[in-house]
Amino acid sequence: MSRLAVVCGGSRGIGAAVSRLLAQRGCRVAVLSRNEDASRAAVAALPGDHHVAFSCDVSKEQEVQRTFESIRRTCGHVSYLVNAAGINRDALLLRSRPEDMLALLHTNLLGCMLTCRAALRDMLHMQEAAIVNIGSVVGLKGNAGQCVYSATKAGLEGFTRSLAKEVASRNVRVNLLAPGFIRTDMTGGLSEEQTARSVPMGRFGEPEDVALAVLFLLESAYITGQVLVVDGGLQLAM
C-alpha cells in the first residue's frame, strides 16, 4: 500500500518539486495550496494516479482542521508531511509593518505548527511516520533586511527540535531542512549572477536539489531532530 504524503505549499517551487519526487517514488500525494486551481494543476502534472488537491490557508486553524479531516476521510492516514508553505516580505525592521510581521509569523511559523498538530492525530497511531519542515539558511545565520523572515525560520528550528523529542518514542521523526538560494519565485527578484558569487559552488540550487534532501530525511529511519542545510556551501561564506 502506498504511503500518503501531504505537501503544504505543494503547487509551486520547492513544494512542487517535492510533490513530483514523492509521486515518482510511489506515494499518493495530497497537494495543499491557498489557491485551489493551482493545487489542481499541480496534481494534474504528477505521475501516477489517485493524487488529490486541496485548498488550504495553513495560517488559519479551522481551515487546517477541516482540510486534514477531509484528507483522513477521503485518502486515509498521513505517513509523510512536508511543510513547504511560506511567504517572504523583505524589509529592514524599521520599515516593517506590523501587518506584514503578523502575516509572516502566521504563515511561516504558526502554519507549520497547525499542520503538524493536525497530521500527528494520524501519525501517533502508525508504525512510523515522518515530518520535514522547510526552514532557511537565514534562520540559522541571519541576514540584514530579513529580520522578521529570519525570525520565523529560526523559530522553526526550535519547534522542530522540540517536537522531535515529544514524538520520537512513537516512531515519528521530525527534521528541518534549511535551503540557501534556490531558483524559485521567492528568489526571482535577485540578480542570480551577482548573488551566486557568494555561493562557494557558484550557482543557485534547483528545487529538485531540495526535494532529494527532503526524500532523504523522510526515508531515514534513524534521523530525527536535525537540521540539514542545502545551500551549496553558502553557510561557509556567511
**DSSP letter assigned to residue 198:** G
Residue pLDDT, tens place only, 67-78: 999 999 999 999
The alpha carbons of the chain give a radius of gyration, in whole angstroms, of: 17
Count the helix, strand and coil residues of the chain and give each as a percent rounded to the nearest 5.
Answer: 50, 15, 30
Which helix (H) or strand (E) segment holds residue 73: the answer is helix 61-75
How far, in whole angstroms, is CA 181 from its chain's centroid? 15
Give the pLDDT confidence score for residue 55 in this predicted structure. Answer: 97
**Which grid cell sits at 174?**
521530525
Residue 193 sits in a domain of what CATH number?
A: 3.40.50.720
- pLDDT at position 178 is 97
Cα separation of 3 and 38, whole Å?
A: 23
**Residue 135, pLDDT above cutoff 80:** yes
**What cell was used for 149?**
523572515
Please give the tally of structural domains in the chain. Answer: 1
pLDDT reading at 38 higher than 90: yes
**CA separation for the pair 29, 176 (Å, rounded):** 20
C-alpha cell at 73: 476521510
Residue 1 has pLDDT above 60, yes or no: no
What confidence tier does 48 reach under pLDDT thresholds 50, 70, 90? very high
For 173-222, write each residue's pLDDT tens digit: 999 999 998 887 766 566 666 676 788 888 888 999 999 999 999 999 99
**Residue 154: what pLDDT?**
98
Residues classed as catalytic: 149
**Cα 14–chain centre separation:** 8
Average confidence score pLDDT of the chain:
93
47 pLDDT band, cuts 50/70/90, is very high
pLDDT tens, residue by residue, 145-158: 999 999 999 999 99
Full domain range(s) for residue 189? 4-237
Q: Which residue has the higher pLDDT, 208 or 49?
A: 208
